[in-house]
Copies of this chain bind each other. A is one copy, B any other.
Amino acid sequence: MNTLQAILSRRSVRAYTGQPVPDELLETVLRAAMAAPSAGNQQPWQFVVITERSLLDAIPAFHPYARMVLQAPVAVLLCGDLSLEKHKDYWVQDCSAAMQNMLLAIHASGLGGVWLGVYPNSERVDGFRKLLDLPEHIVPLGLLPFGYPSEQPPAVDRFNPSRIHTNHW
């Protein structure tokens, strides 16, 4: 899929068929994530791939918008690794760029997924900490459940010229 077309047509997909995601596509998605830019190329990310049904099913108990994980064959928990930070306080931006790359790679591969916010909501951060035994220096930023889509939300045009300013506010 053409890059601009992928960017403009990507939507959050919250319903999936039962079909599993092949390992090579999962690797493509993670490869896309790690190609993101980061402050001083610090790459402060870690990824927990969740495929175990009992783990996926436990998530909605502490994340109110995560009911689609009950259907999803896989979800990637994208985490910041504070021990890898060379440029303090840029890990959220770096990891968010990696998340956006994953969303685009998923969409361009004929899959669908949705970015669920975790950090800085402490209930959700703690929920994942306990569920996956994350050490203190690992901070879950966002969860990305995905799979083969059973819904196809149409592209929307969010372009808003009133948000564009030129050479002054």
Contact = CB atoms under 8 A, between A and B. Distances in A.
Contacts of A107: 3
A27 B55 CA distance: 43
B4 A163 contact: no
Interface residues of A, number: 65
A112 interface: no
Contact of A51 (B47, B55, B103, B166): B166
B160 A105 contact: no
Given A7-B32, A31-B8, A120-B89, A164 B105 contact: no
A101 B35 CA distance: 13
Contacts of A167: 48-52, 55, 132
Given A97-B97, A159-B34, A2 B1 contact: yes
Interface string A98-113: 0111011101110000
Given A92-B93, A108-B4, A47 B163 contact: yes
Contacts of A71: none
Q: Which are the 9 A-B pairs with shortest beta-carbon distances?
A: A96-B96, A3-B108, A97-B100, A100-B100, A3-B6, A93-B96, A52-B167, A34-B158, A48-B165
Interface of A: 1-4, 6-8, 10, 12, 28, 30-32, 34-37, 39, 43, 45-52, 55, 87, 89-90, 92-94, 96-97, 99-101, 103-105, 107-109, 115, 117, 120, 132-135, 138, 141-142, 158-160, 163-169
